[in-house]
């Protein structure tokens, strides 16, 4: 009896989490798969007809939105890496006893609603706002210069809102780097740049790998930044899905678009993992 309890103990420990995932993830996912293959409308109801055209029609109709979402996601992810890596590096190696405080400052915007943070960018980037209005009054910018409703505004908002998702994993990876390894590299006549490229950067790749996944996936599926900071020509696929769900009540098409986006992101992540070398990343993380 005791041996049986010992074997069942690990499964009993993960049972609450497993039930949570089953009820709030697996079951809704299965229902959405079924809904994506249905036909009908909100008045007459929806019926299961295995209408695969929901996928092909959605992809052909909104293909440009998928491409734009992936492009914006890629650019925002690159911007996040460019900003997050130096910030994480400085906190990890030069933060001293105030590391927790600096990380708190990075996470501080998360204490404000996502919508409010995005709307604040709209006020900052307004044509006559605090920044552009002042520069125009000083004669440094032409009066017809604007930033809102441009790709730059959308990508800037995406980068700002999802930057902590890149900072934290990179910081964790850099925090695990033993400073003695850098000292050993310098003792072997390696310069600071060589020590970084040959020691610090390879050991921090697990954090970059995790940060890219944690950033690229939600950024590509976002619709708030494009709706607030962009214009009609900057619509992302998330905006289309939101419109189909809540405005048109076209649940099958919206579900099909959601799963198409999910499939594209999964394929992209798989290719990214193969290109970077998941095994090498995991081996570096285990050191």
- pLDDT tens per residue, range 170-195: 999 999 888 888 878 877 777 888 88
Query: pLDDT digit string (tens) for 41-97?
Result: 888 888 999 989 999 999 999 999 999 999 999 999 999 999 999 999 999 999 889
The backbone torsions φ and ψ at residue 39, rounded to the nearest 5 degrees and listed phi first, read: -130, 160
More confident residue, 152 or 140: 152
Hey, where are the domains in the chain? 1-50, 62-286
Beta bridge pairs of residue 40:
46
- Cα distances from 28 to residues 31, 34, 216, 218, 259, in angstroms, run 5, 10, 23, 19, 12
Is residue 68 a contact partner of residue 267, using CB atoms and an 8 Å limit? no
Coil, strand or helix: which one is 190?
A: coil
pLDDT over 90, % of the chain: 51
Q: Tell which CATH classification among 2.40.40.20, 3.30.70.141, 3.40.50.10610, 1.10.3720.10 matches the domain 62-286.
A: 1.10.3720.10
**Exposed / middle / buried, residue 278 (Cβ in 10 Å: 0-12, 13-18, 19+):** middle
* Single pTM value for the model: 0.87
pLDDT at residue 131 tops 90: no
Query: pLDDT digit string (tens) for 216-259?
Result: 999 999 999 999 999 889 999 999 999 999 998 999 999 999 99
Is residue 132 a contact partner of residue 147, using CB atoms and an 8 Å limit? yes
């Amino acid at each position: 009896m005791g041996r049986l309890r010992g074997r069942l103990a690990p499964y009993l420990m993960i049972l609450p989490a497993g039930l949570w995932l089953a009820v709030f993830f697996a079951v809704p996912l299965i229902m959405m798969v079924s809904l994506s293959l249905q036909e009908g409308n909100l008045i007459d109801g929806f019926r299961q007809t295995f209408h695969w055209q929901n996928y092909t029609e959605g992809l052909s109709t909104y293909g440009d939105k998928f491409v734009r979402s992936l492009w914006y996601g890629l650019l925002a992810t690159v911007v996040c890496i460019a900003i997050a890596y130096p910030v994480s590096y400085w906190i990890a190696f030069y933060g001293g006893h105030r590391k927790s405080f600096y990380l708190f400052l990075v996470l501080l915007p998360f204490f404000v609603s996502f919508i409010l943070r995005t709307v604040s960018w709209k006020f900052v980037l307004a044509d006559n706002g605090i920044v552009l209005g002042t520069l125009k009054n000083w004669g440094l910018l032409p009066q017809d210069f604007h930033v809102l409703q441009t790709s730059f505004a959308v990508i800037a908002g995406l980068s700002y809102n999802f930057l902590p998702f890149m900072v934290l994993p990179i910081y964790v990876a850099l925090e695990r780097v033993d400073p003695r390894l850098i000292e050993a590299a310098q003792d072997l006549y390696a310069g600071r740049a060589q020590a970084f490229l040959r020691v610090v950067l390879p050991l921090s790749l697990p954090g970059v790998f995790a940060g890219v996944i944690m950033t690229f996936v939600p950024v590509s599926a976002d619709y708030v930044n494009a709706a607030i900071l962009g214009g009609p020509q900057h619509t992302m696929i998330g905006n289309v899905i939101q419109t189909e769900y809540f405005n048109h009540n076209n649940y099958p098409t919206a579900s099909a678009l959601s799963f198409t986006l999910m499939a594209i992101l999964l394929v992209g992540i798989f290719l990214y993992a193969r290109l970077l070398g998941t095994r090498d990343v995991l081996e570096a993380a285990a050191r």
